[in-house]
A = this chain, B = another copy of it.
Amino acid sequence: MKLCFSIILCLSFLTIFGQVQSESDKDAFFIREIYNKTLTEGKSYDWLMYLTKRIGGRLSGSPGAAAAVEYTRQIMQELDMDSVWLQPCMVPHWVRGEKEECRMISSRLGTVDLACLALGNSIGTGPKGVSAEVVEVMGLDEAEKLGKQGKLKGKIVFYNRRFDQTQINTMAAYGGAVDQRVNGPTMAAKYGAVGALVRSMTNKTDNVPHTGVTYYRDGNECPAVALSTMAADELERALEMEKVRVFFKTNCKNLPKKLSYNVIGEIRGSEKPDEIILVGGHLDSWDVGTGAHDDGAGCVHSLEVIHILNHMGYKPKRTLRCVMYMNEENGMEGANTYRDVSNEKGEYHMAAIESDRGGFTPRGFTADGHDDIFNEKFRKVIAWLPLLEPYGLNLRKGGSGADVGKLKSQKGLLFGFEPDSQRYFDYHHTPADAPDVVNKRELELGAAAIATLVYLLDKYGLDE
């Protein structure tokens, strides 16, 4: 009897073990197929070439943004999704106007041109420009301190804190400096400054200024431009020697809000349609450059996930939703609208993956979520690591993405696709963010990585 029981136990164990083995083998095989198809029959690169070369810059409210809405809607329709729709949202409509100018005037060096770009959302200077003495600060705290002492009144504030080059992940260096661009100008205005200059957000030393959003609060507005890092260096050196005045002129302005759209496509789940898995990127880009890495790559990654899984005949159990968000760059109105509509409907995004860190070689995913659920759900995902590691993919706790981050209250897991970060800020928000700096295979490997995570999420879920 005892022997008999032991044999039964053994056999059961073998059966279970055999099944586990075989599911894992099946998964490994399916994932290998995802990569094979993406690397040989993927369309992401062609789509990106169209978005960047044919359509170009796609700032919210621009003709390019409208074209991108229509282009990606058409792709989704060709992908034979169950439904494709446009979700209306009102977006800011900021326009740069003619070329900006910036010059420093010092008694020793004379007049020196400084390469600059107006910050997005910034007001313009008007045709006369602004001219004032420069006060250099290393951050918001210093600006506030000087402001309270009345030392910013009538001045141009120069935010000059650099990227920390010792951060291995350049996103961390960005995170450590970007508050100057986002909140610096409004802080300067609050204390009476007439303008703000911000050192460009990049690891590089070159003469290319990097634009990006600034937000005004409580009506505290002054015109603001980014300086190239070389221009910032030059201004810094001049300020070490003497008082310096800067003149700059920008022609940008905020027009009335405009109607635009998130582009959404969906394949309804066959078993658990109420558990949504979202893949997305943002369709808008800055007006300079063509948004190849930021975030054309994320858009075509997301479309490719649908294309490849379809192409492999995969029928999802859960609902797969592909979202091209509008207005991530200067307002988040697409993401706000998507969240509001979704919450009103009582939807549940079991998982949402955003790709908005470029089309470089994948290193993995960062995951985030509501404190109530994060640890438990992340543990399930971590169990898939052996399937991801052959492709150089890791999983770690970290931010997800500006758009999908808004869905945290639904208590699903939020993911940010994490490619190699070293080159991202060489191009970010500049004319250099163009098709020639995207490598086809690196882009495709990103799409395959995201498709792999979607497959595992769909197959195993996070709530069982």
Seen from chain A, the residues whose Cβ lies within 8 Å of a Cβ on chain B are 35-36, 39-40, 165-166, 168, 170, 203-204, 361, 363, 390-392, 420, 422-423, 426, 439-442, 445
The one of B39, B166, B363, B439 that contacts A166, using a Cβ cutoff of 8 Å? B39
Name the residue of chain B whose CB is nearest to the CB of A37. Answer: B166
Contact A39 B439 (CB under 8 A): no
The one of B166, B170, B426, B445 that contacts A35, using a Cβ cutoff of 8 Å? B166
State how many copies of this chain the complex holds.
2
- Bound state CA distance, A361 and B422, in angstroms? 7
Contact A166 B422 (CB under 8 A): no
Q: Kindly list chain B residues whose C-beta atoms are within 8 Å of the C-beta of A361.
A: 361, 420, 422
- Bound state CA distance, A361 and B426, in angstroms? 14
Tell me how far the C-beta of A195 lies from the nearest C-beta in chain B, rounded to whole angstroms.
31
Tell me how far the C-beta of A417 lies from the nearest C-beta in chain B, rounded to whole angstroms.
16
Query: 12 more A-B contacts (CB under 8 A) besides A363-B392, A423-B442?
Result: A35-B166, A35-B168, A36-B166, A40-B165, A40-B166, A165-B441, A168-B391, A168-B392, A204-B440, A420-B420, A422-B445, A423-B439
- Bound state CA distance, A361 and B440, in angstroms? 17
Q: Kindly list chain B residues whose C-beta atoms are within 8 Å of the C-beta of A36.
A: 166
- Bound state CA distance, A168 and B389, in angstroms? 12
13 contacts between A and B (CB under 8 A): A165-B441, A168-B390, A168-B391, A203-B440, A204-B440, A361-B361, A361-B422, A420-B420, A422-B439, A422-B442, A422-B445, A423-B439, A423-B442
- Bound state CA distance, A426 and B436, in angstroms? 12
Q: Kindly list chain B residues whose C-beta atoms are within 8 Å of the C-beta of A203.
A: 440-441
Name the residue of chain B whose CB is nearest to the CB of A39. Answer: B165
Q: Kindly list chain B residues whose C-beta atoms are within 8 Å of the C-beta of A35.
A: 166, 168
- Bound state CA distance, A360 and B214, in angstroms? 33
Q: Kindly list chain B residues whose C-beta atoms are within 8 Å of the C-beta of A204.
A: 440
Name the residue of chain B whose CB is nearest to the CB of A168. Answer: B391
Q: Kindly list chain B residues whose C-beta atoms are within 8 Å of the C-beta of A420.
A: 361, 420
Name the residue of chain B whose CB is nearest to the CB of A444. Answer: B165
Q: Kindly list chain B residues whose C-beta atoms are within 8 Å of the C-beta of A440.
A: 203-204
Contact A168 B422 (CB under 8 A): no
Q: Kindly list chain B residues whose C-beta atoms are within 8 Å of the C-beta of A439.
A: 422-423, 426
- Bound state CA distance, A39 and B169, in angstroms? 12
Name the residue of chain B whose CB is nearest to the CB of A38. Answer: B166
- Bound state CA distance, A420 and B363, in angstroms? 10
Q: Kindly list chain B residues whose C-beta atoms are within 8 Å of the C-beta of A363.
A: 392
Contact B423 A168 (CB under 8 A): no
Tell me how far the C-beta of A434 lies from the nearest C-beta in chain B, rounded to whole angstroms.
14
- Bound state CA distance, A267 and B268, in angstroms? 66
Tell me how far the C-beta of A40 lies from the nearest C-beta in chain B, rounded to whole angstroms.
5
Name the residue of chain B whose CB is nearest to the CB of A170. Answer: B441
Name the residue of chain B whose CB is nearest to the CB of A165. Answer: B39
Q: Kindly list chain B residues whose C-beta atoms are within 8 Å of the C-beta of A170.
A: 441
- Bound state CA distance, A7 and B423, in angstroms? 55
In order of increasing CB-CB distance, the 8 nearest A-B pairs are A36-B166, A39-B165, A422-B442, A422-B441, A361-B420, A361-B422, A39-B166, A423-B439
Q: Kindly list chain B residues whose C-beta atoms are within 8 Å of the C-beta of A441.
A: 165, 170, 203, 422
Tell me how far the C-beta of A447 lies from the nearest C-beta in chain B, rounded to whole angstroms.
14
Q: Kindly list chain B residues whose C-beta atoms are within 8 Å of the C-beta of A165.
A: 39-40, 441
- Bound state CA distance, A357 and B335, in angstroms? 42
Q: Kindly list chain B residues whose C-beta atoms are within 8 Å of the C-beta of A442.
A: 422-423
Tell me how far the C-beta of A192 lies from the nearest C-beta in chain B, rounded to whole angstroms.
36
